[in-house]
Structure 1
Amino acid sequence: MLAATLPRPPLPADVRLTQLTAHAVAAVAVLALCAAAAAWAARQPVFAVRSIRIEGDVHRNSVSTIRANAAPKLAGNFFTLDLARARAAFESVPWVRRAVVQRVWPDRLRVHLEEHRPAALWVDDNGNDRLVNTHGEVFEANVGDVEDESLPRLAGPEGTAAQMLSMARLLQPVLAPLDEGDLQQLALSGRGSWRVVLEGGITLELGRGTEADVIDRTQRFVRTIAQVTGHYQRPLLFADLRHPDGYAVRMKGITTIVPAAPARRK
């Protein structure tokens, strides 16, 4: 006759809790040990970054110059390198607008660069000339490295470079029929008034308003100024387009600008 196997009585609740706690502590300890081992392994010289491949725009700087400027700022190995800081290191190199940094197994970095393309000069009140790229962003670089001597000079409040570059691009074809050369300087006052100086020396006060307002006002001036200069047979020196029903001009030896009345004596 077989004896029946009696089921074991359940363990007390406090014993079960102790066992679960012990298992959890053991699991955490194993995970911590694995993490520490992985961190230790990742810091070993075998995982050092051994080469950096530079791609993209490298017209203003040689690859060796870019490496020499950025490499000392890179900290860590293949696993521990902070890619955001690495990107900032490459973007701190003169003429570099944007950098994309990627890891390439097992020990390389791939860096794709986009360079600034100068579209204008930015002139501030301190005489510290900077450059404006084709995106309307002001950046620091050696102005003497720019081969294009016809870049317009922009002068205006900080943060308006993109707006001013857009206006310069709109004005250039409008002013071309004057046959006075390229737009040499474009200024924007703190009150939003525009002024243009052309390569031939003519200064135009364009006044305030939206882009459409300023362009429309300038187009009307360009269409009619030849009749004025042709009548007087004198070269144009200055024009003030801020009048609601026309404009005032100053030609060599002739002016239609009314001088300000002298202050009355008390």
Structure 2
Amino acid sequence: MPRSATLRHPTAAAPLALPVDVRLMNGLASVIFVLAALGMVAVGVLWLVRSPFFPIRAIQLDGDLQRNSVPTIRANAAPQLAGNFFSVDLQAGRKAFETVPWVRRAVVRRVWPDVLAVNLEEHRAAALWEGQGGEEGAGAERLVNSFGEVFEANVGDVEDDSLPVLAGPEGSAAAMLALLRRVQPTLARLEMNVVRVQLSGRGSWRMELDSGAALELGRGSEEELVARSERFVRTYTQVAARWQQPLEYADLRHADGYAVRLRGVSTTPPKGSTPPGAVKNN
């Protein structure tokens, strides 16, 4: 039998390796191409950011708008905004809106394609701030909001003429407002209303009432001051029922009681007797 013959194709020649210098040049060319592409993208982005074709055409205001009108807010803050939709600095924009009177906090964000949305939170006045250097009755020039923060605003814009006055060292407004909020409900049981709270540089507390009377609370923690107020309110009705005269002054600093001065009642008792208005704890 004739033998079958197998035809073999000649083996393909292996590709020749490129010289090292050629490969380095090709790699360098690829790197240059990538860098050039990135540079073109960066230039395009920079042009886009600075382009006048994406202006902010509208400012949308939401949130608290009781103290300021929309035109007033825009007139105060808009001139401080720089850049287009992409380049405007949102943090700088936030600060610009927070410089508007009565604005406590602003949140600024972009809304495509040309709107700057601003959500505003206004201050809510809780007290007048006299500070420590002001003289009593001289009038307050700043306000304290519901968070205990002192802020600048036109005091004449406040419709509520019954706001209490806080007079104390800088940085103490929050603590003073907190104590007032705890003591006032207690005193309200005697129909007493606090109109002024004073904190000295040495930490001594004093409160003045709408009747003209004054309460000397002294020094101590908030809990100690509240306890003294509770003790006074709990027993003062006995003094009032006995003497039937308006309160002028109460000194609550005593550890075992308190002393009061009543209008028209002498505080100089006969020798050996108990002073009028002196109350001891039992």
TM-score (norm 2): 0.85
1:206-264 deviation line (CA, Å, top 9, x unaligned)? 12222221111111111222222332333211111111111122222423799xxxxxx
Task: Look up the match of 1:229.
Answer: 240
1:34-67 deviation line (CA, Å, top 9, x unaligned)? 2102211332222010111111111101000000
Bigger Rg over Cα: 2
Residue 238 of structure 1 aligns to a residue in which SS?
A: strand
Task: Look up the match of 1:242.
Answer: 253
The answer for unaligned runs of 5 or more in structure 2 is: 1-7, 135-139, 270-274, 276-282
Query: What does 1:105-124 align with in structure 2 at a 5 Å threshold?
Result: 105-124=112-131
- Closer, same or farther in 2 for the Cα pair 1:150/1:200, shift >3 Å? same
Contact 2:132 2:169 in 1 (8 A): no
Query: What does 1:24-39 align with in structure 2 at a 5 Å threshold?
Result: 24-39=31-46
Check if 1:19 corresponds to 2:26. yes
Task: Look up the match of 1:199.
Answer: 210
Cα distance in structure 2, aligned partners of 1:111 and 1:192? 41
Cα distance in structure 2, aligned partners of 1:116 and 1:214? 28
1:126 Cα offset (Å) = 4.6
1:97 Cα offset (Å) = 0.8
**Which one of 210, 226, 231 corresponds to residue 215 of structure 1?**
226
Cα distance in structure 1, aligned partners of 2:151 and 2:268? 42
Task: Look up the match of 1:10.
Answer: 17
Cα distance in structure 1, aligned partners of 2:21 and 2:164? 83
Task: Look up the match of 1:261.
Answer: none
Cα distance in structure 1, aligned partners of 2:75 and 2:130? 30
Supply the AA of the counterpart residue of 1:237. Answer: E
Check if 1:59 corresponds to 2:66. yes
- Closer, same or farther in 2 for the Cα pair 1:21/1:256, shift >3 Å? farther
Task: Look up the match of 1:133.
Answer: 145
Name which of structure 1's ranges 154-163 and 134-143 shifts more when overlaid on structure 2.
Answer: 154-163
**Corresponding residue pairs, total:** 257
Q: Quote the sequence identity (%).
A: 57
Residue 257 of structure 2 aligns to a residue in which SS?
A: coil
The answer for unaligned runs of 5 or more in structure 1 is: 259-266
Task: Look up the match of 1:168.
Answer: 180
CA RMSD of aligned residues (A): 2.0
Contact 1:249 1:256 in 2 (8 A): no
Cα distance in structure 2, aligned partners of 1:227 and 1:131? 38
